């Protein structure tokens, strides 16, 4: 029940396939508050920092090549239990295991092309670390969400 910020990123496959608006709409419709967003080509060093936990995995090189292959959309979303809410909306890492109705379950087929990244709620410092990698503090916007009184008790 914590009001918190979570890091989410639309991957190059989704960008190329015209799914940017669709992913953002789902997060907006849920009631989450958008506090940061940009479009970038991710530099290789930043990609390696972002996926540092996977450095020794056999899929690491392919993952870095993929995430730097085209524009991505890093975002910060805020809300009650935002990390777990987003993780639930995204679905399992492997689209084959992701339920229909989740973003990966609706838009993806392949583990290596799974549309969206979100910080792991089981990794304590993930949000702070990933937000700091991709955003300066002054790029995160402070404003009142006009419908907050109807989203939260
Ligand atoms: O957090 P999440 O993206 O759901 O999965 P991770 O286990 O952190 O892996 C990051 C990323 O790596 C995943 O989205 C796809 C890719 N990957 C892969 O290509 N092959 C694997 N066996 C595991 C993960
Ligand atoms: Mg992860």
Is 152 part of any domain? no
47 part of a folded domain:
yes
Residue 135, domain extent: 3-145
CA 105 to chain centre: 15
pLDDT tens, position by position, 101-130: 999 999 999 999 999 999 999 999 999 999
pLDDT digit string (tens) for 81-107? 999 999 999 999 999 999 999 999 999
The structural domain count of the chain equals 1
So what's the ipTM on this one? 0.99
pLDDT in the model for residue 1:
54
Q: Flag whether 91 is in a domain.
A: yes
In a domain, 102, yes or no: yes
Mean pLDDT of the chain: 97
- Tell whether 153 is covered by a domain: no
Distance 7 CA to ligand 2 centre (A): 11
Q: Quick check: CB of 94 below 6 Å from ligand 1? A: no
In three state form, how does the secondary structure of 46-57 look?
HHHHHCHHHCCC
Ligand nearest to the CA of 117: 1
d(CA 11, CA 66): 9
Ligand sitting nearest the alpha carbon of 11: 1
**Residue 42 maps to which CATH number?**
3.30.70.141
Tell me, yes or no, if 3 is annotated catalytic. Answer: no
Q: Calculate how far, in angstroms, residue 45's C-alpha sits from the geometric centre of ligand 2.
A: 18
Q: Nearest CA to 86 among 29, 148, 32? A: 32
The verdict on residue 39 lying in a domain is yes
């Amino acid at each position: 029940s914590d009001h918190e910020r979570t890091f989410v990123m639309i991957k190059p496959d989704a960008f190329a396939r015209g799914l940017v608006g669709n992913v953002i709409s789902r997060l907006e419709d849920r009631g989450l508050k958008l506090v940061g967003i940009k479009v970038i080509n991710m530099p290789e060093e930043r990609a390696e920092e972002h996926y540092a936990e996977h450095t020794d995995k056999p899929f690491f090189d392919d993952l870095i090549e993929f995430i730097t292959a085209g524009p991505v959309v890093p975002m910060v979303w805020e809300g009650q239990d935002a990390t777990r809410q987003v993780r639930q909306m995204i679905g399992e890492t492997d689209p084959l295991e992701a339920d229909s109705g989740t973003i990966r379950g609706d838009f993806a087929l392949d583990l290596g092309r799974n549309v969206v990244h979100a910080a792991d709620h089981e990794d304590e410092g993930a949000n702070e670390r990933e937000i700091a990698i991709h955003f300066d503090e002054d790029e995160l916007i402070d404003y009142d969400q006009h419908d907050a009184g109807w989203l939260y008790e």
